[in-house]
Amino acid sequence: MITEKDRHVLEHWSFPLEEAARNSYRSLQSRLQKIYDDVLIDQSKPIRLDDFLDDFLKECEIFSWAFFRVFSDGQEFRRSPSSTAFNSALVAYHFARENQWEPVKLKTFVRGTLLHEVGMLFVPSEIINKQGKVDEKERAIIEAHPSVTAELVQKWMELPEIQAMALGHHEDWNGAGYPKGLQGSQIHLFAQTLSVIQSFVAMATQRGYRNSMVGYLSMKQLLQLKGTRFSEDLVLEFVNTFGLHPPGSVVLLSDGSISRVIEPVMGNPLRPKVRILIDSSGKEFRQDNGAQMELDQVKKIFIARPVNLLDLQISE
């Protein structure tokens, strides 16, 4: 729960260049919620996702990393299957684009990501929202949701790749996942990739409200799970794509300034593009008007450590 002190800090820092992206994010997320609501009412009708998918991809192209930064600040997150699917699709789009997937492959992957949580609609809310550990019966209900999703997407005549994503996104690299206990190359590559993405989204959104260290902490956790839950090569590719400090992260630089990561530099996970929030003399830039710096081009300055925006001392 956000405190008055935290609210004061959040109001102190505004990012006006992202307001249009935030409005689009909210609108698209509401539209996907309506699509999911319709599925819950009647599963016999094919899901009406085509127009939404086209608009989603257009808006992702327009707003690019601003969309990702809106996701990463946590203000717009809703605890629902459609919100998880939406944020996962946002990450999936950027991963596929940055790795230069051809358009049809990218669109199929994003579509499968948008659909992968529909089975969670049929898990009772009291189980989803339960405090503490679930019992064996409740766990069985949760672990059935990939099979439910797979049955639905097959009924809707979705592509085989999307069916594989639906069924396999909770399978683990070492065979300890569900529902079939597949391991390694037995798991479809799209499902492997979605597993990393949806785990990153879960880690990032389960942490405190707008803790700007969540991206860094989530990346560290993914790296700890490489070779067990996830393919080592895939985790390294993911970190290489988004950086160890993903967009939206706040960092202390070696010159004493505080910066916000604007976008990653592909292949250089420790040296992203940043915008100054507080320079080395203590001057604040509250309105997205600080200087930008490409750390891969400025070799003498580097990221010293991540910083939580809520911990910053602010001037009045």
> Which residue in this structure is represented by tokens 């684009």?
97
Supply the pLDDT for residue 209. 45
Across the range 40-48, mean pLDDT stands at: 91
- Residue 153: pLDDT band (50, 70, 90) is very high
Domain ranges of the chain: 4-242, 250-311
- Residue 42: pLDDT band (50, 70, 90) is very high
pLDDT at 298 over 80: yes
- Residue 311: pLDDT band (50, 70, 90) is confident
Dihedral (Cα; 284, 205, 221, 127), 10-degree rounding:
160
Q: Which residues pair with 303 in a beta bridge?
A: 253
Long-range contacts of 11-16 (CB under 8 A, 24+ apart): 12/286, 12/314, 13/277, 13/286, 13/309, 13/314, 14/286, 14/287, 14/288, 15/69, 15/288, 16/287, 16/288
pLDDT at 133 over 60: yes
pLDDT averaged over every residue in the chain: 91
Least confident stretch, 45-59, 62-76, 79-93, 198-212: 198-212
Alpha-carbon distances of 81 from 99, 123, 252, 261, rounded to whole Å:
27, 10, 35, 28
Instruction: Name the pTM for this structure.
Output: 0.93
The structure tokens listed for 157 are: 């005549």
Supply the pLDDT for residue 6. 54
Across the range 147-175, mean pLDDT stands at: 96
Alpha-carbon distances of 139 from 10, 74, 116, 123, 260, rounded to whole Å:
37, 27, 18, 10, 39
Q: How far is Cα 263 from Cα 278, in angstroms, rounded to an integer?
A: 18
CB 251 within 8 A of CB 303: yes
- Residue 5: pLDDT band (50, 70, 90) is low
Report the interhelical angle of 214-224 vs 232-242 (nearest 10°).
160
The CATH number that domain 4-242 falls under is 1.10.3210.10
Supply the pLDDT for residue 128. 84
Strand ranges in the chain using DSSP code E only, listed in sequence order: 250-253, 258-263, 273-278, 292-294, 303-307
Supply the pLDDT for residue 4. 60
Supply the pLDDT for residue 9. 57
Q: Which residues pair with 293 in a beta bridge?
A: 274
Supply the pLDDT for residue 21. 95
Query: Half-sphere exposure of 6 toward its Cβ, with a 13 Å CA cutoff?
Result: 12
Across the range 242-270, mean pLDDT stands at: 96
**13 compared with 227, residue with greater pLDDT:** 227
pLDDT tens digits for range 174-201? 999 999 999 999 999 999 999 999 999 9
Across the range 146-158, mean pLDDT stands at: 96
